């Protein structure tokens, strides 16, 4: 009497996340000139200690965790504790040693200088 198809019974056993923290993708602005690449990412409410910036093998990953203290009875909450996470491919020509990061007013500013070898050079033609 109770005939259920196998398909209807199977639950998907996806990999569960370790923490229940929501993730969000921060808005970024990316600028480039011949010396460096500049990246600004909006991460309101994130403090310096909670940000991690990693460059590995041509991939730049940003992560910022925001934890706000709970106060009182939430009547209306459009934002909460969240992890801002985003990754980018960066060209191999970035000089990793000289990368600088600054966090101010909830905006993470990254400066990625290009290595000397990558800067555009005029190639002189010698007359033989």
Partner 1 sequence: MFIRIGDMDNVFGAMDLLRNKMDQFLDDFDKSYDYGSGLSFISSGPRTALYEEKDAFEIRVEVPGIAKEDLNITLQGNYLEITGSRTIDAPEGYKVHRSERGTRSFSRNFTLPDGIDAEKVEAALRDGILYLKLPKSEVARPKQIAIG
Residue 89 near partner 1 by CB under 8 A: no
**Three-class SS of residue 101?**
strand
Residue 45 near partner 1 by CB under 8 A: yes
DSSP letter, residue 78: S
Kindly tell me the burial class for residue 92, based on how many C-beta atoms sit within 10 Å of its own C-beta (0-12, 13-18, 19 or more).
Answer: exposed
Residue 125 near partner 1 by CB under 8 A: no
> Of 12, 49, 56, 124, which lies in the binding site for partner 1, with binding defined by CB under 8 A?
12
Residue 40 near partner 1 by CB under 8 A: yes
d(CA 61, CA 53): 6
The site for partner 1 (CB under 8 A) is made up of 1-5, 7-8, 11-12, 14, 17, 22-33, 38, 40, 42-47, 68, 71-80, 84, 105-107
């Amino acid at each position: 009497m109770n005939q259920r198809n196998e398909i209807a019974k199977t639950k998907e056993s996806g990999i569960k996340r370790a923490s229940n923290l929501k993730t969000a993708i921060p808005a970024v602005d990316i600028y480039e000139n011949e010396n460096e690449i500049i990246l600004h990412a909006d991460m309101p409410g994130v403090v310096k200690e909670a940000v991690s910036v990693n460059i590995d093998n041509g991939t730049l990953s940003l992560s910022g965790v925001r934890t706000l203290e709970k106060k009182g009875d939430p009547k209306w909450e459009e934002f909460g504790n969240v992890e801002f996470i985003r990754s980018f491919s960066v060209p191999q020509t970035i000089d990793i040693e000289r990368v600088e990061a600054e966090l101010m007013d909830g905006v993470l500013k990254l400066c990625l200088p290009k290595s000397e070898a990558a800067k555009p050079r005029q190639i002189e033609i010698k007359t033989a």
